[in-house]
Amino acid sequence: MQILTGKEVAEKVYESLQSDCNVFVEKYGFPPTLAVILVGSDPASQSYVQGKKQACLSLGFGHRDYHLPSDTSQEALLELIHTLNEDSSVHGILVQMPLPAHLDADLVIQTIRVEKDVDGFHPQNVGNLLIGKPGFVSCTPLGVLQILDYYGISCSSKHVVILGRSNIVGKPMASLLMQKGRDATVTICHSKTEKLQQITKQADILIAAIGRPLYVTEAMVKEGCVVIDVGINRIEDASRKRGYRLVGDVDFEHVAPHCKAITPVPGGVGVMTIAMLMKNTMQAALQLAQKETQ
C-alpha cells in the first residue's frame, strides 16, 4: 500500500512556481498578485485565508488582504470587486466562501472578472471546463489530478466513483476526469444515492468529498483500489491542545490496508489546494500581463 503524500507533490509545484515567479518579476518588474477578500470572522475561513497569504509571501507573490466586517453590504462588496477587476496590478481575486447569509454568493462570483477568477467558480469558467475549453478550474480537483499524475496513476478506462456533488469539488472533478485524454468512466454519488456500497465497491479509484468524518469504511472499498480523501473535518479530541483533530471522509486506519494507494489527512489533498491556487494566480498574471503589453 502506497501513501500518496500531497506535501511532496505540493513542494514540487512550489519549486516550479518559484522559478516562474522569478522569471515573471524579472520580465515585468512586478509580482503576480492575489487579492483575498474575507467577510466576517469564521475561524476556519480565517485560517484558510492565512494559509493563502503565507503561500503568497513565501513565493514572493504580491498579496492584498481585505478583511470586511460580517455586516458588509452587497453593494460595498461588489464595489470592491469592481475596483479590483479594474486594477491592473491585481491578477487573481478570491472571495472566501461561505459568505454571510445576507450576501448573494452567486452574484459575487459572477462579478469577478473571468480572467481573474483563480478559484474557477465563475459560470463561464465552469462552462469552459465542461466543454473542454481553456479556463480556470477549481483548485481542489486540480490538486487531485496533480497527485494522480505525480504518482503515475492513470484514470484511462478506470471506473472512478466520486462521493459528493458540490460545485467546488464533485462536479468539476467529474468534468476533468471524463475529458478526452483522461478517459475515466465516472459515477457521482450523493446523499440520495441508493445501494451506495454496491457502487463504491466497483470503484478502481474512489474520491471522497462529502464532508462527513470517517464516512468511508472498509466495507465500501474494493481490494486494491486507489482512495483519494478530499475531506477535512474537525472532530473533538480532548487529548489535543486545541481540543480537536483533523480527519478525512475516509476511515484511513481501516481502509488503508485494503488499498493500492491512499491519500492521508492531513498531508494529502488539503495541501494541494493552495498550491493550485498559486498556480492559477501565476497563469492569470501571465495571461493578463501578456495582454497588457500587446
- Quick one: which of 63, 66, 65 has its CA closest to 31? 63
Annotated active-site positions, please? 52, 96, 119
Minimum CB separation from ligand GUN for residue 168, in Å? 6
Q: Rounded CA gap, 75 and 58, in Å?
A: 33
Nearest residue (CB) to ligand GUN, 72 versus 200: 72
Residue 96 binding ligand GUN, by CB under 6 A: yes
Shortest distance in whole angstroms from residue 287 CB to ligand GUN? 20
Stretch that binds ligand GUN, among 92-100, 153-161, 171-179, 226-234 (CB under 6 A): 92-100
Q: By CB under 6 A, which span of 13-21, 94-102, 175-183, 224-232 interacts with ligand GUN?
A: 94-102
Q: Is 119 in the site for ligand GUN (CB under 6 A)?
A: yes
Identify residues 124-143 at the interface with ligand GUN (CB under 6 A). Answer: 139
How far is residue 292's CA from residue 145's CA, in Å, rounded to a whole number?
31
Give min distance, CB of 104 to ligand GUN, in A: 15
CA distance 285 to 190: 36
Q: Which CB atom, from 169 or from 221, has the smaller least distance to ligand GUN?
A: 169
Q: Is 249 in the site for ligand GUN (CB under 6 A)?
A: no
Asked if 68 interacts with ligand GUN (CB under 6 A), we say no
Question: Shortest distance, CB of residue 22 to ligand GUN, whole angstroms?
Answer: 26
Spatial neighbors of 239 by CB under 8 A, at least 6 apart, are none
Question: Alpha helix locations (H) across 92-169?
Answer: 105-111, 123-130, 139-150
Figure out which of the listed residues 25, 97, 114, 246 binds ligand GUN, where binding follows CB under 6 A.
97
Using the rule CB under 6 A, give the single segment among 74-82, 90-98, 200-208, 263-271 that binds ligand GUN.
90-98
- Check: CB of residue 135 under 8 Å from CB of residue 124: yes
Strands (E), the chain: 2-3, 33-39, 62-68, 92-95, 159-163, 185-189, 205-208, 225-229, 233-236, 244-247, 259-262
**Cα atoms in the 13 Å half-sphere on the side-chain side of 9:** 27
